[in-house]
Structure 1
Amino acid sequence: MSAAWPTAGALMAKDPVTVAHDALLSHALGKMSTGALHEMPVLRGSKLMGMITFESIARRANLSFSTKVEHLLLIPPLVTPATPYPELAEQLLATGLRAAPVVGRRGELLGVVSRTDLVRAFPDLRQIPDHRVDEISRSIGHPFHESDPIRQLLAQIRLLEEHPLPVLDRKGRLVGAVGVSDLARVLWRPTVGGKRDAEKGGSVYDVEIGTIMHSPAVTVPAGTSAVEAARRMTRENVSSVFVVDPTGPTAVVAQTDLLGLAVGSASAQGDRLGDGLRPDHGPARFERPHHADRDRPFGRR
């Protein structure tokens, strides 16, 4: 692997917010909401057990707030401070996770490295040839309208995990975007919707998407460089940008599309991926989580 690639140790956020394995879901959600976090490491004492994520909560919206965090664990890839950028990118893409814990030789948590950290460093990677967003963008996916109920988002949860989806007004104009974190916020407080819905009552699933979306949607013109798209994501603190031309939004570029460029460039240069994830004297294995509590309702309806 080329020595020029930055490593997890240089990219990671140190002293991340964590939660104990026996903490209640309500406590974990409070921490995630306060810190605007998409994921958190779960610890038993000082030992890393796994991760809890927005996505895992949103997929199982029937959970009780009294569910223990240890029942919701995802087992992330093992990343060490020496793991290079392309391997980090490959592992996050392979697992679908937004972040991975960085662990020491004894399995202690040293930090967390996220897709956002990798995208922040993307403009400085000289190993990646220049690309335009038109070359790496994907279909815009299923657009929603402001008046659609959020129950329709649940049917698109897998696509929503990839990137926020566009929200259109009655005239078909792009007015915002909605992502997993937007959905999770209203599911956590099922008796409260958006501003217009707060007075209506009714089911949380009937809350209008327009009341929870983030607006305006972040866009870049067709022909923008991948580097500039990465900079725009970092400046606006978003995980994707919509590509627009005079007719409107035509495609979307997500963080994962940029990470794919790094993986492809490393492979083209003959760098081997995956070796850094299983060092001969690497960190201890994670404990397996206990059985999940799937049957209780998620909060009050």
Structure 2
Amino acid sequence: MARTDDIKVKSVMTTSPVTVEVDDTVSDAIAMIRRHRVKELPVLSKGVPVGLVSYTSFIERRSVPINAKVSSIMLPVSKLKEDDSVLDAAELLVASGIRGAPVMRGNRLVGFVSRTDLIRLMPSISEMRRLTVRDIMTSEPQSVTPDEFISRAQVVMEGLNEKALPVIGDGGRLVGVVGMTEVMDTIWSPKGDTPQRSPRPPRKVFDGRTRTQITVGGIMTRNVVSVSPDETLGRVVDLMLDRGLSTLFVTEDERLVGVVDQSDLMAQLLSLRPRDQVFVQISGMTIHEPDVLDGLYSLIGKAMKRVAKMDRPRVFYLHVTTYDTEGLASKFSLRVRLNTDGAMYYVKGAGWDLYKAMSDVLEALETKVRREKEKSLDRRKGR
């Protein structure tokens, strides 16, 4: 079997991808995404990719008229070559925070590779076969309740860079899921519209209620696909592909205990790439001063050196959410995921001082790695 780094993008990409032109309208793009059930569309100008559009583009720029040009909301595009490896593709998608990228042969578009295309490979990779949901899931995921308004769900999804949220009822029981698709349909389509029709941004939907008055329970999907913590990674991939899902919720006795999504799987795939230093990604930052980022990277670098004495760190992901702004002060919520040679760790924290919150989260992360190392040594000694 070929090494993962020897598998080329051209062997997994989607040929003849669905695209839009730079002069097409926002309405055209929304209709294409719905009709073809894709997550992102390459935007072309004279046959050359110049950007991407996705549901996120529309949600974040919902004040843009639907007859506006796609160019007004498109995201910057990163491109791959057909002879790049699948690990090159994984690194590009993770680093860019996108779900897919155009594949080029010279100056010609020949395909599109998505996270789904890459994830499809994972069950055939020997290093992945032993993994269970418990090894890769994010514990204590953010959730909403049926009585909360969809505007709240939208804010949470945007802040966490998530595309779906679990809906929790009494006793922590998983009762539904609300996704960006449902929010998008509510914002852009009045009651009775179908995905085939050109969407119109209504002032009122759902029998006269405005968007801010619609509850999560009114639009959520109730038949939720869930898995147990002991399911295999192969089963997770099969469910995602068969059901067209990017997120699966993890339950025990109907209670939500975790979530596994495509970003978790991408981090596992990226951890296979040999590298001298840990791959670090920071997302969600609203503070862009170089000194602030340098300070965070310095804290992370020192922590990773300490972690490396216990287990080799591979991929470090930090997402920062800023909220509860008071005057010039803001509160920060931090979520950290670390993939090492031996395990995946997840830690979260919050605070008004970004550096203090980051230091506390890194300290908690080191403690988790140390405890896992001690458990591993005990198992080897047969204790």
TM-score tier (shorter) = 0.7 to 0.9
Q: Which residue of 1 aligns with 2:265?
A: 258
- Conserved in 1, the CA contact under 8 Å of 2:171 and 2:255? no
Q: How far did residue 84 of structure 1 move?
A: 1.3
Amino acid at match of 1:175: V
Unaligned 5+ segments in structure 1 are 274-301
* Counterparts of residues 153-232 of structure 1 (less than 5 Å): 153-158=153-158, 161-169=161-169, 172-189=172-189, 191-192=190-191, 200-232=207-239
Decide whether aligned partners of structure 1 residues 265 and 12 sit closer, same or farther in structure 2, where only a CA change above 3 A counts. same
Matched ranges for 1:1-301 at <5 A: 2=3, 5-106=6-107, 108-128=108-128, 130-158=130-158, 161-169=161-169, 172-189=172-189, 191-192=190-191, 200-246=207-253, 248-267=255-274
Q: Give secondary structure in 2 for the equivalent of 1:201.
A: coil
Q: Structure 1 255/105 Cα, relative in aligned 2: closer, same or farther at 3 Å?
A: same
* Greater RCO (CA < 8 Å, at least 6 residues apart): 1
The one-character-per-residue Cα deviations of 1:23-56 (angstroms, maximum 9, x if unpaired) are 1111111111111221111111212111111112
Q: Secondary structure at the match of 1:176?
A: strand
Deviation at 1:166, TM superposition (A): 0.3
CA distance in 1, matches of 2:168, 2:125: 35
TM-score normalised by L of structure 1: 0.80
Larger radius of gyration: 2
Shift of 1:101: 1.0
Number of matched residues? 268
Q: Which amino acid aligns with 1:104?
A: R
- Per the alignment, in what secondary structure is the counterpart of residue 258 of structure 1? helix
Specify the code of the residue in structure 2 equivalent to 1:179: G
CA distance 1:73–1:66, change in 2 (3 Å): same
CA distance in 1, matches of 2:27, 2:102: 22
**Secondary structure of 2:161's partner?**
helix
More helix, by proportion = 2
SS of 1:16's partner is coil
Aligned pair in 2 of structure 1 residues 205, 110: CA closer, same or farther (>3 Å)? Answer: farther
Identical positions, percent: 26
CA–CA separation in structure 2 for the residues paired with 1:89 and 1:226? 18
| Bigger strand share | 2
Specify the SS of the correspondent of 2:222. coil
The 1:12/1:122 distance shift into structure 2, 3 A limit, reads: same
Question: 1:21, CA displacement in angstroms?
Answer: 0.3
Gaps of at least 5 residues in structure 2 are 194-203, 280-383
Alpha-carbon contact 2:41-2:53 (below 8 Å) kept: yes
Separation in structure 1 between the aligned mates of residue 270 and residue 29 of structure 2, nearest angstrom: 33
Deviation at 1:187, TM superposition (A): 1.4
Contact 1:145 1:170 in 2 (8 A): no
- More displaced 10-residue stretch of structure 1: 169-178 or 90-99: 169-178
C-alpha distance in 2, partners of 1:77/1:238?
24
User: How many angstroms does 1:174 deviate by?
Assistant: 1.2
Distance 2:159 2:153 in 1: 9
Tell me, yes or no, if the aligned pair for 1:163 and 1:254 is still in contact at 8 Å. Answer: no
Cα RMSD for the two superposed structures: 2.6
Which letter does structure 2 place at the counterpart of 1:70? S
CA–CA distance in structure 2, aligned partners of residues 29 and 128 of structure 1: 36
Contact preservation (8 Å) 2:174, 2:254? no
In the alignment, is the contact (CA less than 8 A) between 1:119 and 1:234 conserved in 2?
A: no
